[in-house]
Structures are given as C-alpha cells and as structure tokens.
C-alpha cells in the first residue's frame, strides 16, 4: 500500500492557500498541515516532513508574492509540479457584537489589504491597517482575543472556521481578482508535456553590464519562446544585485525551451530551474507544440548532416 501524501500549506486553516490546495481534490487519507509562513511550508518539503507544499506565488492585482520567490531562489532546490488559479473574494470578519461603526483597526495580509484598499478608504475612512501573517491568521487572532485590531479581511470561509461574523462580503476592489498558487516538491522529473505548459526559472547575472537583461530576453525570443512573467528581486547581497524570475510558455522537453535554457546557462552566472508544469486555465495545443518542435528537430538533423557529410540542403 502506498503511503498517504502529506501536504504542507501556507496557513493557518482558512487561508486562500488552503482553498487552493483543497481545489486539487487531495486523495482520501492525505494529510494537510498548515505552516505559519511560506518559508516554513517550503522547508517542510525540503526536510521531508511533507511531500508537497502549496504556496501563493502571484496575484492579478498586487503581483508577485516576494516571500515565495525569495525562498525559492535560495535553499535546497524545489520544483513546481502544478499551478492552481483561485478567484479571491474578501469578507470583513469580526467577533459577534461588533458593528461596522466599531471598527477602528483592520488586520490582514499585505496582499489582501492592497486588494481591498479602495473599499476600506470609502467604507472605513479612519480605520488603520495592521499587518497579519495571512488572512486566516488575522481571523484566528480575532477569535482567540489576541488581535490588535477589531476586524479581519479574510476569505469568507474563515468566519465559519473561527466562529466569526461577516460584517461585509465581497469587499475586494476588483471582483475578478485571481491568485496563482504553486504546488512544490523536492526535485523530480517534470510531468509529461501537454501542449499547454509553463516553465519557471530564476536567472542571475553576477556582473552588471550593458544589455545584461537583453541577453536573457534574447535567448527566449530568438527561439520563439513566449515569456509570460518577469519579476526582478534583489539578491540581498549588495545594492543593485538582482535576480530575475521568469515564466515562459512551454516545457523543458520542448526543443525551443530546452535550447533557451542552454543559452541562458551560457549567459547567466546562475540559472535555477523551478519546473515545467501544466498551465492552469489554458487549453492544450499539442499541434502547435509539435510544429515548433518539428522545426527544431529538422534544424538539428540538418546540422548533423552538415557535420557528417560537409553539405546539407
């Protein structure tokens, strides 16, 4: 009998991250363990306490989740094996008996505050914002009486989890906000290509020089690889030292992506491969993938003939 899968997730119970993990329908018997921070959830996988970890990576309104990117760039390598897109809707929660007029301070995760800023300034103009480690941690602290605020911006489900009341629902400024979550494992071969895949990389150029970023982009563009995201983050070593997080369409087994990776390995001091995995919400286009791959294979065969026979047409 196979062991049940153990999952770490950015918690506590009631985070959007937990909802993202549950949306993947973990098999019966799976163990889901919350961790207070993203690095702790990822370290659980690195150290073997969990097989997989679900963490937020990017939000459609507030952008990248720095805690996730910075952790993935260092430490023992992990790879993304799947991504999940989850619509994020926020509710303002409070202890029973609290009314909107009583709310002076609101606690939540910084990404959540950024997504509800307009609503907050219009509905609770005088209210101060207090940072919490996650939306659910804000709700939990209210329930346990340890919060330095009167209300929490959380997922609605956290009201049930922590026995709180919903003071206002659907308070996000953008009703279509979506967060992208990544499921990470210790390095394993990627899932098979589907024709709708994404590859994630971290590139680092040690010596800044004119055109350094252009060199990275060229490796992708000359091979027709579509970059979908680029985020720069300081390495923390010195002012002006940055690494680039890049998402591109395609799979490491696709010839264009594979060749681009080799090119990047030549021009960058370091390249960390963070996985190839099926893109969420995109229909596979195996025909297009096969066409691009065929052009590369044909060019490879042509070069082999040039080398072997001295001529090829």
Ligand X SMILES: O=C(O)C(=O)C[C@]1(C(=O)O)C=C[C@@H](O)C=C1
Closest separation in Å from C-beta 128 to ligand X: 19
Site string for ligand X, 120-159 (x = CB under 6 A): --------------xxx-----------------------
User: Taking the complex as a whole, how short is the minimal distance between the CB of residue 88 and ligand X, in angstroms?
Assistant: 5
Site string for ligand X, 97-126 (x = CB under 6 A): ------------x-xx--------------
181 vs 273, beta carbon nearer ligand X: 181
The closest alpha carbon to 241, from 228, 251, 232, belongs to: 232
Question: According to CB under 6 A, which one of 8, 50, 54, 59 is a site residue for ligand X?
Answer: 59
Of positions 12, 56, 256, 263, contacts ligand X by CB under 6 A: 56
Site residues for ligand X, window 11-50 (CB under 6 A)? 15-17
* 161 touches ligand X (CB under 6 A): no
Q: How far is the CB of 266 from ligand X (least distance, A)?
A: 35
CB 222 → ligand X: shortest distance, Å?
Answer: 34
- Residue (of 52, 47, 46) closest to 10 by Cα position: 52
- Contact between 179 and ligand X (CB under 6 A)? yes
Cα separation of 73 and 139, whole Å?
A: 30
Q: Which residue has the tokens 């024709």?
A: 195
Residue 200 in contact with ligand X, rule: CB under 6 A: no
Q: Contact between 10 and ligand X (CB under 6 A)?
A: yes
Angle at which helix 212-221 crosses helix 255-267, to 10 degrees, equals 160
Query: Which residues of this protein are in contact with ligand X, per CB under 6 A?
Result: 10, 15-17, 56, 59, 65, 88, 109, 111-112, 134-136, 179
């Amino acid at each position: 009998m196979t062991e049940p899968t153990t999952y770490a997730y950015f918690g506590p119970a009631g985070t959007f991250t937990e909802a993202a993990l549950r949306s993947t329908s973990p098999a019966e018997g799976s163990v889901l363990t919350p961790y207070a921070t993203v690095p702790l959830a990822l370290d659980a996988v690195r150290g073997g306490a969990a097989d997989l970890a679900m963490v937020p990576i990017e939000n459609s309104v507030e952008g990248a989740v720095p805690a996730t990117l910075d952790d993935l760039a260092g430490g023992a390598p992990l790879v993304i094996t799947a991504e999940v897109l989850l619509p994020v809707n926020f509710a303002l929660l409070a202890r029973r008996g609290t009314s909107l007029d009583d709310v002076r301070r609101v606690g939540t995760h910084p990404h959540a505050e950024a997504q509800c800023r307009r609503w907050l300034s219009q509905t609770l103009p005088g209210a101060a914002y207090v940072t919490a480690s996650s939306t659910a941690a804000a709700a939990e602290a209210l329930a346990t009486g340890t919060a330095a605020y009167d209300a929490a911006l959380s997922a609605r489900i956290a009201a049930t989890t922590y026995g709180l009341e919903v003071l206002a629902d659907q308070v996000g400024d953008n009703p279509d906000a979506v967060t992208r979550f990544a499921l990470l494992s210790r390095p394993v071969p990627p899932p098979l290509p589907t024709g709708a895949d994404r590859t994630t990389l971290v590139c680092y150029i040690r010596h800044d020089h004119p055109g350094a970023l252009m060199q990275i982009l060229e490796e992708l563009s000359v091979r027709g690889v579509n970059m979908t995201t680029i985020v720069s983050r300081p390495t923390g070593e010195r002012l002006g030292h940055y690494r680039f997080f890049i998402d591109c369409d395609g799979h490491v087994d696709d010839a264009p992506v594979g060749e681009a990776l080799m090119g990047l390995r030549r021009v960058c001091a370091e390249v960390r491969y963070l996985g190839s995995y099926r893109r969420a919400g995109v229909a596979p286009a195996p025909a297009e993938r096969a066409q691009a791959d065929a052009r590369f294979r044909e060019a490879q065969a042509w070069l082999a003939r040039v080398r072997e026979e001295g001529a090829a047409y």
